[in-house]
Each structure stands twice: as structure tokens, then as C-alpha cells.
Chains A and B, each alone.
Chain A
């Protein structure tokens, strides 16, 4: 556990967060951060595609995809009920927050994959497809919750284009397909770009994410009440336990189970917030961005990843 907490990735993340909390002007230029995020999506998508063609086709892939989509649909209902019972958040804000907690954080997922790689623990490439499949269903659940409990009409032109044609998703799925088409030969050609520099660039990206998280943490103090802060901590734990049960039922390996748990325990802060601004404009963005980015993201990245790995190991 200490090894994971003292990895360069987490230490750079902590450095960024500490710098932002101390109001340092440390920041990565926006376009460089965007460029690195494109690189990370390309690299993990491609590696996942190559890995998938090396494996025999099995029903495990379909089961994992179904379980992921099911969790993404279902977790917002649990999140919504928890928020309505445990906090004074309105139905509309609770529905918007709930959507974030059914979707995923790709950066947490990538960091978890890199942690597994560093520890020599195998996982399957199709988990990347599971991650992509878990982005959107939670948005549908959030909109249904808002419609039913807040009486909000959520028909909005351009919403699904924003969700399904989001640049990150297009690149991830596209690179995954290219990896499948080119296979090991493609990997040999691209290895100098997508293997060796990967961890260093991930550290640089996490430094920037740390800075953004630190800024959100500062905002969280003024926006979130104690019950909301508590939700940002206990919701990932509940989601992780449910995902662990699914992983156990499906007989997932340690690596796959850990990634599945990470996906369930993480919350979206890119795709879902943009969708919520379009579909539920009256919901307060400061609440869901502060919770997902300022509370759950750093929690998952620091103590979450080693904990979810320990949980996955317990299942075996």
C-alpha cells in the first residue's frame, strides 16, 4: 500500500494539489494539458485494442460490458436516494450529482492501470471498452430522476452529440479499433511513443490534475455542506462494494476486478458535467464539480487505488 501511495504519479498529484491550496501560480498551459490528455487516450485505447486481439473471444467480455452498463445505470439511483435522505440537496441537484457518480473518471482508471502495470498484475484490454461503455448510461438515469422527482423537462438538442461524440470517447474508441486492426505489428511500431514515455507524461498530467483538484478543494469548502462532503466519501465505498460483488460473481481476475471497482467508485468530471449543463441548466454546477473533482477524485487517487486493489485481492 505504501509503495502505491509513494509512486511518482501520486506524489506529483499531491504536489499539484498542495501548490494550488497554497495559492501558488503553478499550472500547465491549457493546450499542453489537453495535448497530454489526447496522448493518454490514444495510448490506452491502442494498447487495449492490441491486447484484445491477442485473447480468445469469450463471453467474459460481454458479461463485463453488461455489468458495467448495468452499474452505470443503477448507481445514480443509489446516489440519488443517499443524497435525498442524507443531505438537504434539492431533487434537481441530487439528480445531477447522481449522474456523475454512475459515470467514470478516465484519469483515475488510467492511474489504476499504470499502478497494476508497475506491480506486474495483468488485466485484460477489454476493460477499456468497459470504461467507455460506462460513461453515458448514468446520464440517462440522472435525466430520468430529474424528470420524475424534480419535474424537469430534459429534452435538449445537441445533448447526445456532446455525450457520444465527446473528443475523448471518439479517440479512445478509435485508437482501440486501430489497435485491434494493427495488432502486435502496430504495437512494435508505436511502442517508442506510447510505452516508454507513458508514465512520465501521466505524471505531468497528474501534476496539472492536482492543481485543478486543489482549486476545486478550495471552492468545495464554501459550496459543500458536511453531509455532501460525507457523500463524496461514502458513495465511492458503496459503489466499490457493489462492483466487487459483480466482479466476484463474474470470476474476474485481480487486475480486472480492481479496474472494475475503480470504474464504479469514480465519478465523472468531464463528460457528465457538460451534459448536465445542457440538460439540467438549473442544477448548481459548483456542487457537482466540487464533489466529483474536489472530493471523490483525490480520494480515489490517493487511498482509493490501494484499497480497491486490496479488495480485488480479497475476492480471489
Chain B
């Protein structure tokens, strides 16, 4: 089986910002992403929990995205600008995929 190199971008973001993140992905033709709810955690400002919030503020989401290096270079500037002042985290790692045409 042949494996192909791609990048995995993981973003932990505040729920109200999800629309903006997905708009950046859609604008730059990123097609492989998944959004997951985050239950609770601890960050720079302390503990947070999904159960302590009723609206979207205070809730966190994880956006997991697989993409090529070319697309990564295009989405990073607007993504960095978007989350620069927000609560959240952005990590990048190398992954291998079986179907490169999907990403």
C-alpha cells in the first residue's frame, strides 16, 4: 500500500468562530476537515467546561483538517490573523494518507 505525505492542522477554537474558520477553508479549497465538540479542558486562563455554558460563548470546538502543503501556505495567514486574539490553539503535524487526491 502506498502512503502519501500531507499536513494535519488541529485547531481548538471558540464555538462562535467556527463559521469564520470554515469560510477560510472553503475559500481556499480545503475539502478534508472534521469538526468535533470539546467537552472540557484547562488552558492558559484556567479550567473550562462545556457544561458551564448555555450559549455558544464558552464552548470550544476542535477542527481537524488534512491538507497539502500548498493549501497550508494559503490558509495559514488568515487563520493566524483570526485566532491571534482569541482563546484557542493551533497545531500542525505530518501525517500520511492513502488517497492523496482527497486532500
A: residues with CB less than 8 A from B are 27, 30, 33, 157-158, 162, 209, 211-212, 215-216, 219, 222, 269-271, 273-274, 276-278, 281-282, 284-286, 289, 293
Q: Which of B14, B19, B46, B53 contacts A212 (CB 8 A)?
A: B53
Please, which residues of chain B bring their CB within 8 A of the CB of A278? Answer: 16-17
Please, which residues of chain B bring their CB within 8 A of the CB of A271? Answer: 55
A292 CB to nearest B CB, Å: 10
Please, which residues of chain A bring their CB within 8 A of the CB of B85? Answer: 281-282
A276 to B14 Cα, complex, angstroms: 12
A269 & B20 in contact (Cβ 8 Å cutoff): no
Main secondary structure of the interface of A (DSSP, over half): helix
B17 & A212 in contact (Cβ 8 Å cutoff): no
A30 to B85 Cα, complex, angstroms: 28
A89 CB to nearest B CB, Å: 16
Q: How many residues of B contact A (CB 8 A)?
A: 21
B33 CB to nearest A CB, Å: 18
B: residues with CB less than 8 A from A are 14-17, 19-20, 45-46, 49-58, 85-87
B56 and chain A: residue at smallest CB distance: A274
B85 CB to nearest A CB, Å: 4
Q: Which of B15, B45, B58, B86 counts the most A-chain CB atoms under 10 A from its CB?
A: B58
Q: Which of A157, A209, A219, A286 contacts B54 (CB 8 A)?
A: A209
A-B contact count (CB 8 A): 57
Given contacts A157-B20, A162-B16, A281-B86, contact A273 B55 (CB under 8 A): yes
A277 & B52 in contact (Cβ 8 Å cutoff): no
B83 CB to nearest A CB, Å: 9
B19 CB to nearest A CB, Å: 6
A136 CB to nearest B CB, Å: 15
B51 CB to nearest A CB, Å: 6
Please, which residues of chain A bring their CB within 8 A of the CB of B56? Answer: 270, 274, 277
B17 & A284 in contact (Cβ 8 Å cutoff): no
Q: Which of A219, A278, A293 counts the most B-chain CB atoms under 10 A from its CB?
A: A278
Q: Which of A33, A158, A282, A285 contacts B20 (CB 8 A)?
A: A158
B28 CB to nearest A CB, Å: 16
A269 to B14 Cα, complex, angstroms: 16
A273 to B59 Cα, complex, angstroms: 11
A211 to B16 Cα, complex, angstroms: 23
A276 & B54 in contact (Cβ 8 Å cutoff): no
B54 CB to nearest A CB, Å: 6
Q: Which of B16, B54, B87 counts the most A-chain CB atoms under 10 A from its CB?
A: B54
Please, which residues of chain A bring their CB within 8 A of the CB of B52? Answer: 212, 215-216, 219
A215 & B49 in contact (Cβ 8 Å cutoff): yes
A270 & B51 in contact (Cβ 8 Å cutoff): no
A284 to B87 Cα, complex, angstroms: 10
Given contacts A286-B45, A286-B46, contact A269 B54 (CB under 8 A): yes
Given contacts A281-B85, A286-B46, contact A274 B16 (CB under 8 A): yes
